[in-house]
Structure 1
């Protein structure tokens, strides 16, 4: 659980990273996570509160991700088609809009692309490089899904040298029953949960 009130202003060296709160991952989408739409609403409220000076988003943006898509998915390494480039499913879920973010990092064009750190801006700038250029040393991570792309982004954030906190109250999981083990994994890696 989070340790500080989410509305409390964060230091300017901390960025909020909103992971994959997209139509296909919210109720009604092709790979919906229960609670996804509520996450979108709650994240919008946090962004609107002005608690963070720097707020960015990541998006799945699949073109041809190979075996990541399957007609017979195992829901571990393969999934139904989702967040295909140019489709409504890849857009941010309302009330979120791209204009709310300082930058949007698309990932997974030709790969699974779980981590936001695999993403880049339309100009080709990576998430890690962009954050460093803004003087960011810590990131708070939220979004969808806790047990996949939020997890991967948090772990990669630590590997990239950032202090990382996951705002679990602003996430939803594909498999909620696995959250206790996931919390242990993240904590062991140096992520604050």
Structure 2
């Protein structure tokens, strides 16, 4: 790759618990994206990173840890453990991606072409959709080091795929833009928890400066051309 184009691929949370048929928080059609993700993994990225939720059993996002609360429909207020004035409302989920369980494993159909795995959601006190860091800022509670990894590899452009489009993939794209990277969310390679709301969600992603593109878009075809010229 040339110095002015050094792309990275981030495969977000393509884990058993997010995929049918047996995932505890299965995203509809989530497993269908794997062949296209593998196609991208075969392209000449500078670095290929997979992220995964890696939750302790007492994680704040699990409805089971809140008496009387139900997954999907109920929310909980999460407060910055280091600053009580900073808080947000977060959706509750079924127990998923518990550290060391089969549900937390990356799907076995992924090609073994991952250079690095980044784990997130490790602190039981905060929800962390983004693979970069939690939503708090004053101060931040957990930083995965992902931005540093990208900079160490002199990455210029970030391509984001995985699950789920309207939560962790969205957050990955938004924070990649914040960190100064040209960012592309490859729509064919993701699925949403709430498919009906995806068109509106996509508008918000594009408003941030990230591009939502298809496998046929010039931004992806550029990679395929680089592969054929290698």
Match of 1:106 among 114, 119, 123: 119
Measure, in 2, the Cα distance between the counterparts of 1:59 and 1:183: 22
Could you say what secondary structure the match of 1:154 adopts?
helix
Aligned to 2:197: 178
> How many angstroms apart in 2 are the aligned matches of 1:25 and 1:53?
27
Taking structure 2 as the reference length, what is the TM-score of the superposition?
A: 0.72
Give the ranges of 4+ consecutive aligned residues of structure 1 lying more than 2 Å apart after TM superposition. Answer: 50-53, 64-67
Shift in Å at residue 64 of structure 1? 4.6
Quick one: distance in 2 between partners of 1:142 and 1:26?
Answer: 14
Tell me how large the CA RMSD over aligned residues is.
Answer: 1.9
Unaligned segments of structure 2, at least 5 residues: 65-69, 74-89, 135-142, 213-230
1:129 aligns with 2:156: no
Partner of 1:67, secondary structure, is: coil
Native 8 Å contact 2:5 2:157 kept in 1: no
Say yes or no: does 1:42 pair with 2:36.
Answer: yes
**CA-to-aligned-CA distance 1:33-88 (integer Å, 9 cap, x gap):** 1111111232123212x242321110000015633001322356110000000000
1:118 maps onto 2:133 in alignment: yes
- CA shift, 1:125, in A, is 6.2
Return the alpha-carbon distance in structure 2 between the equivalents of residues 192 and 23 of structure 1: 27
For the pair shown, which has the larger CA radius of gyration, 1 or 2?
2
Q: What do residues 143-174 of structure 1 show as CA deviations (whole Å, max 9, x unaligned)?
A: 00000000011111111111111001100111
The structure that is strand-richer by fraction is 2
CA distance in 2, matches of 1:125, 1:149: 14
Contact between 1:12 and 1:53, CA under 8 Å: does it hold in 2?
no
> Which whole-Å CA distance do the structure 2 matches of 1:56 and 1:174 have between them?
22
